Structure 1
């Protein structure tokens, strides 16, 4: 009886493991990807360093006059929403530059010194990107599909009790530390920025959108 019980227990354990991996494959497949594991291990040993975009003070200086274009009152928290990408992430208000890396683990980050959503100037939001096989942990992949946005795609920003609607205008590929293009100072423009290609620290992709 004891031998049969052990045999049945082994079969049960094998079937349990097989069933677990079948029904949870999308969440655990990265365990078998040595590149993903290597990346996680490297990130654990050393903090990810980010080269911040160069921005013109005149373009990002926060103004006291708030735009009323597509501005509606909402009870939402600070949220970035992009329907086409099925993306919804909290907007983190970071302090000094050295804390931005940690803040990116909790969502997308409103770049310190950039204009608040709805106000004249450039609103800059940063987010991580990662290769296709990277595990979906924290917000490492939040901007991985940024390149799929096209002209006219909607971007919604919920910020401090207001809702703002932006329309994507164009994608820009920048060298590291290259300055963002200047925009009309009397209007509010949104720039979504991440590494390019996803997960590589070679260039930057920026999606420019205008407040409607």
Structure 2
């Protein structure tokens, strides 16, 4: 066995990888790539994928290797170096010839930036700042790649210079356009308001022909023949009030004056002791004879006021509710009852009838007002910047 192997090595020298590569390349040129691959599969013990019919092909030189020669060389290489080494060598040989000169794929390079742009348009995160940064990076990479070529670089530099000069000379204009805000639109609304309206009352009642208004304040009740001066007390001291009753009827302090809105309260004697020589001791003796609809006239401050009886009531001497203010001009006349005693108090109340008093009325008014509409959202900085170049 050793001798046979030695003879075999002398007859066939050990093939090198470079020789195998030359043989593979030459075989492919003569028989085609499919024939080569089928041969290699049969040598390695694999089933060929294509079957070729034997053809007689013309060869140009004696250097063209035959299939049998290749098989012998490959078999000998396999015995010496092993099957793995043979596969590796064949893969390198077939792969190197199959390689073509590498050309820069500009389309693929261009698609990088196209993909970035498309991705940014389709995918928008909630972080706006992050989206802006990603867009800026993508744009920067695109510009940087383009500026490597002179045909893009020099026009870009020229445009940038011209743009900078243009903006420099138009800074005030740019500032005004970026900070301008559209005036707020207005809308008309109907606003309902409630107001208290009151017609003004005349200053005085109508005077009869030839009637003269007395200089002093007086109370006249034609039905019970009362014609008495009115004394205005400036104190609530009961003793002082009793003394003033010798001069007429007394108007209580802090009550409304005749003709004014409120309770004008006047008191007078219905009787007195016989030895008291007062002139007006019995001025209101017949006050209980007045009925609803009877009138009384008051002259005050050179004006005339006519009152008409509304009602009458009897109260205790300590009842102060009769002094309560009112929201209309009211005249209240009070005296002791029954006459000749100071047991109770008779109060006759009058409403003013001339001049006519008009009560306040609540009136609803409708006013049309213009109010600004809801303020629109202010455009962003980028939108305001581009508005400089794209006027409305």
Q: What is the TM-score with the length of structure 2 in the denominator?
A: 0.35
Q: CA deviation at 1:199?
A: 2.5
8 Å CA contact 2:266, 2:334 repeated in 1: yes
Q: 2 CA distance for matches of 1:110 and 1:68?
A: 23
SS at match of 2:308: strand
Q: How does 1:1-212 map to 2 (within 5 A)?
A: 67-68=201-202, 71-72=205-206, 75-76=213-214, 77-98=216-237, 99-130=240-271, 137-178=278-319, 179-180=321-322, 184-185=326-327, 187-212=328-353
Q: CA RMSD in A?
A: 2.7
Q: What is the TM-score with the length of structure 1 in the denominator?
A: 0.62
Q: 1 CA distance for matches of 2:277 and 2:284?
A: 12
8 Å CA contact 1:123, 1:189 repeated in 2: yes
Q: CA deviation at 1:139?
A: 0.6
Q: 2 CA distance for matches of 1:208 and 1:148?
A: 13
8 Å CA contact 1:67, 1:119 repeated in 2: no
SS at match of 1:104: helix
More strand by share: 1
More helix by share: 2
Deviation sequence 1:153-175 (CA, Å, 0-9, x none): 01000011100000011111011
Unaligned runs of 5+ in 1: 1-65
Unaligned runs of 5+ in 2: 1-199, 354-392
SS at match of 2:253: coil
Q: CA deviation at 1:176?
A: 1.4
Task: Say which structure, 1 or 2, has more relative contact order (CA 8 Å, 6+ apart).
Answer: 1
